[in-house]
Structure 1
């Protein structure tokens, strides 16, 4: 895939909508990333992100908001029909301008990805130990097959599976075990950044909790950066340090994860939060509420703020005036004209 980067004027000191950098450069910095399919369909529109070493960033939103496209774009795993512009700086090096050989070296070793749906991501006709050993052999030509297989067993034990399970085929493992294999594979080459795309999809709540605690522990032990993608705002608030909420290909709110979940500044963030029950919270008396309507078709986005057709507090101007991320107090930003207005008492229930 041919990647394209665009710049206009002098390079800014920081991406629009992100805090000014302090100290060492971030592990990952995404600047004005746009992904367009077929030349006309914008799946990701001007996204800015920053992840420090040891930091956990959550990305939330409904299906179709661009979360998985963003995840795949970070390592240029999208099909050739996708055009990427902007910058994806991994340890200061732009992924979009890397030659193929350099990009191949960065994948798995610099950054790795836990794909959505472990059963479909693992090769059904190869033992899981061989699949974990494969990236080790590809990135370290001095490693012998025997040493790579031994390392695969160690990685399985690290994620809570017996080393003997390396001899199993994917269909012989449960959903939670397959997800642990995917995490072991992501750790195989000691990456500095792990991208987890819906890592608990289709798992029961007990296994979800185990997988989430495992990911948290691995990030803490190895001081790696984590990007976790999910539609579940409650899970991200419990797991991540910071949270970015996406809608129609753009980040519409970002800030400390628990603050965004508890008191979102953007109406869409409030709607996502209201869709989950708060068990044990005596102040939460209302049942979870859904959000009417569907996300917009990327090929036919509405004018103005793209959320305004579904927004319970939209103004007349929202239909014509787009909204950029703006300060929302503390380290928070939201793309809403009412970001600093007092929230209505019934904002959660109407959302």
Structure 2
């Protein structure tokens, strides 16, 4: 892994426990979700997630760890070759058992997604205002084309663009502007949950910061749930309430975002954290350190703990014994045999 952004490292802080049932069902609850391609290739393996209204959940990991597959699975946007099992409960209703008409009604209105790569997600031959208005017209039978276009202009202003930019084509906008259009589209039908898949990919750090602050403000103002996916642990720690770290299709660590970033209990989480500089922290003035190797091929996963071939603190037993998530103190869980031991020294975590 290599560092691509520079972010001030946050200090550990307390976070309310949002992982336990509290009366009403959560906005989103994922139970033992698996996604298999072609009947034999497991891309997501037994993932459990929980998101409350107004909560921001970050999902981190390298490319190939199953993050985007998980995001697309939440609204059944995967190709027909993907087999999904488990439960995806949105407001208590299982997305995986919805009939097509109900699923179509839930997309955009119940939950929406900001896709990775706005230029590839927007239609190049349609004006952006028309693309924002389209889901409004599809989901609101009483909406007129004129009202939908007016609403599109309002949404553009809400995300920091002039309403007049509704007349622009995608190629006439900058990368940051296109990303704002995608966010406006995701908000068009007032969803209760937004899934943002790498929303700041390919943006410079100044625009990245603006987009992240925009997302935070919109979530707070509208009390929607947010799932933000990124390889950048520092960005997620600065933006989200809780954080789940994925490796080889599974969650290997979860807990309050800033605690996981500052003092991860799983060796993979520590390696991700060490890959980014912490500006302004005299105690951490060191060059970012990468983790040798790559995530395993889902079609040929190693035995035991899937991280053990790259793990600097692996035991002999790690090659044969898989590890489930276990309590790691407070509201944190980690899938590591060493989780009960003191956190390994940072110098060992990426050597």
Do both share a fold (TM > 0.5)?
A: yes
8 A contact 2:34–2:86 mirrored in 1: yes
Shift of residue 54 of structure 1? Answer: 0.1
Shift of residue 20 of structure 1? Answer: 3.4
Shift of residue 14 of structure 1? Answer: 23
Q: Please give the alpha-carbon distance, in whole angstroms, between the structure 2 residues aligned to 1:292 and 1:6.
A: 21
8 A contact 2:37–2:82 mirrored in 1: yes
TM-score by length of 1: 0.94
For the structure 1 residues 260 and 213, does the alpha-carbon distance in structure 2 shift closer, same or farther, using more than 3 Å as the test? same
TM-score by length of 2: 0.94
Q: Deviations over 1:43-72 (max 9, x none)?
A: 000000000000000000000000000000
Q: Please give the alpha-carbon distance, in whole angstroms, between the structure 2 residues aligned to 1:242 and 1:219.
A: 15
For the structure 1 residues 204 and 308, does the alpha-carbon distance in structure 2 shift closer, same or farther, using more than 3 Å as the test? same
8 A contact 1:2–1:83 mirrored in 2: no
For the structure 1 residues 43 and 12, does the alpha-carbon distance in structure 2 shift closer, same or farther, using more than 3 Å as the test? farther
Shift of residue 24 of structure 1? Answer: 1.9
RMSD, matched Cα: 7.7
8 A contact 1:58–1:227 mirrored in 2: yes
Q: Deviations over 1:122-173 (max 9, x none)?
A: 0000000000000000000111000000000000000000000000000000
Q: Deviations over 1:294-341 (max 9, x none)?
A: 110000000000000000000000000000000000000000000110
Question: Is 144-153 or 284-293 further displaced after alignment?
Answer: 284-293
For the structure 1 residues 18 and 54, does the alpha-carbon distance in structure 2 shift closer, same or farther, using more than 3 Å as the test? closer
8 A contact 2:275–2:288 mirrored in 1: yes
For the structure 1 residues 333 and 306, does the alpha-carbon distance in structure 2 shift closer, same or farther, using more than 3 Å as the test? same
Which structure 2 residues correspond to residues 95-134 of structure 1 after superposition, within 5 A?
95-134=95-134
Q: Please give the alpha-carbon distance, in whole angstroms, between the structure 1 residues aligned to 2:314 and 2:330.
A: 24
For the structure 1 residues 241 and 26, does the alpha-carbon distance in structure 2 shift closer, same or farther, using more than 3 Å as the test? same
Counterpart of 1:338 in structure 2 is 338
Shift of residue 342 of structure 1? Answer: 1.2
Question: Is 279-288 or 321-330 further displaced after alignment?
Answer: 279-288
8 A contact 1:179–1:199 mirrored in 2: yes
8 A contact 2:30–2:89 mirrored in 1: yes
8 A contact 2:245–2:251 mirrored in 1: yes
Structure 1 stretches of 4+ with a deviation exceeding 3 A read 1-20, 346-351
Secondary structure in 2 aligned to 1:209?
Answer: helix
Q: Please give the alpha-carbon distance, in whole angstroms, between the structure 2 residues aligned to 1:71 and 1:178.
A: 20
Counterpart of 2:175 in structure 1 is 175
8 A contact 1:18–1:49 mirrored in 2: no
Q: Which has the higher contact order (CA 8 A, sep 6+)?
A: 2
Structure 1 unaligned blocks of 5 or more: none
Q: Deviations over 1:217-255 (max 9, x none)?
A: 000000000000000000000000000000000000000
8 A contact 1:270–1:347 mirrored in 2: no
Q: Please give the alpha-carbon distance, in whole angstroms, between the structure 1 residues aligned to 2:346 and 2:257.
A: 22
Q: Please give the alpha-carbon distance, in whole angstroms, between the structure 2 residues aligned to 1:162 and 1:31.
A: 42
For the structure 1 residues 316 and 17, does the alpha-carbon distance in structure 2 shift closer, same or farther, using more than 3 Å as the test? farther
8 A contact 2:5–2:205 mirrored in 1: no
Shift of residue 121 of structure 1? Answer: 0.2
Question: Is 339-348 or 180-189 further displaced after alignment?
Answer: 339-348
Q: Please give the alpha-carbon distance, in whole angstroms, between the structure 1 residues aligned to 2:322 and 2:148.
A: 52
Counterpart of 2:64 in structure 1 is 64
8 A contact 1:194–1:227 mirrored in 2: yes
For the structure 1 residues 6 and 66, does the alpha-carbon distance in structure 2 shift closer, same or farther, using more than 3 Å as the test? farther
Structure 2 unaligned blocks of 5 or more: none
Question: Is 97-106 or 337-346 further displaced after alignment?
Answer: 337-346
For the structure 1 residues 317 and 2, does the alpha-carbon distance in structure 2 shift closer, same or farther, using more than 3 Å as the test? closer
Shift of residue 23 of structure 1? Answer: 2.4
Q: Please give the alpha-carbon distance, in whole angstroms, between the structure 2 residues aligned to 1:7 and 1:286.
A: 14
Shift of residue 25 of structure 1? Answer: 1.2
Secondary structure in 2 aligned to 1:253?
Answer: strand
For the structure 1 residues 3 and 186, does the alpha-carbon distance in structure 2 shift closer, same or farther, using more than 3 Å as the test? farther
Q: How many residues align?
A: 351
8 A contact 2:87–2:95 mirrored in 1: yes
Secondary structure in 2 aligned to 1:89?
Answer: strand
8 A contact 1:271–1:348 mirrored in 2: no
Q: Please give the alpha-carbon distance, in whole angstroms, between the structure 1 residues aligned to 2:283 and 2:115.
A: 37
8 A contact 2:55–2:225 mirrored in 1: yes
